Amino acid sequence: MTGHSSPYKPHNHEHCIKEALNKARFLCTDRGVRLTPLRERVLELVWQSHCPVGAYEILTELTQGASKPAQPPTVYRALEFLQEQGLVHRIASINAYIGCSHPGTRHNGCFLICTQCRTTIEIEHSNIDQSLTSCANDHGFTINETSIELAGLCTNCRVS
């Protein structure tokens, strides 16, 4: 029941969050790593929307309702874990983090970032990957990690 509705259309976002958390729990159990309450909470906060969020935004939200303010390492460590598990991606061009929309396989993603509404989607890119690998090979280069971030206007924000 993976109802992948488009982030660009109105949808029951609670469902996105729940699905992301469920997948995360399953994957972590499967891998024998610990999705602690803190890590799960951070993942939930990352999934609050389909827009990348900054580490310090997460920090602020984490602090809401807590007796003491959370500290940066708390968030960064959780994000590091989530990235290692392929549950969250970092968007380097805007120093922000976004939930992975198809976790389960380790990958780096290719992101379409709307500069107006900030909605960001992760797209499949087998042919992009092929082009990249082939170009890299032409230069004797072996790719380990990719950062592919495309900024522009999403289908809602571009004036037709």
Report the residue number, 39 or 50, with the smaller CB distance to DNA. Answer: 39
Q: Write the single-letter amino acid at 92.
A: A
Report the residue number, 27 or 112, with the smaller CB distance to a copy of itself. Answer: 112
Distance, in Å, from the CA atom of 62 to the CA atom of 66, rounded to the nearest integer, reads: 7
DSSP annotation of 53 reads B
Distance, in Å, from the CA atom of 127 to the CA atom of 45, rounded to the nearest integer, reads: 32
Tell me how far, at minimum, the Cβ of 115 lies from a copy of itself, in Å.
Answer: 7
Report the residue number, 16 or 70, with the smaller CB distance to DNA. Answer: 70
**What are the distances in angstroms from CA 69 to CA 46, 55, 65?**
18, 14, 9
Tokens of 94: 């805007």
User: Using CB under 7 A as the criterion, which residues of the chain lie in contact with DNA when the complex forms?
Assistant: 33-34, 36-39, 54-56, 68, 70-74, 76-78, 80-81, 90, 95
Q: Which residues sit at the interface with a copy of itself, rule CB under 8 A?
A: 8, 92-93, 110, 112, 114-115, 121, 123-125, 127-128, 130-132, 134-136, 138-155, 158
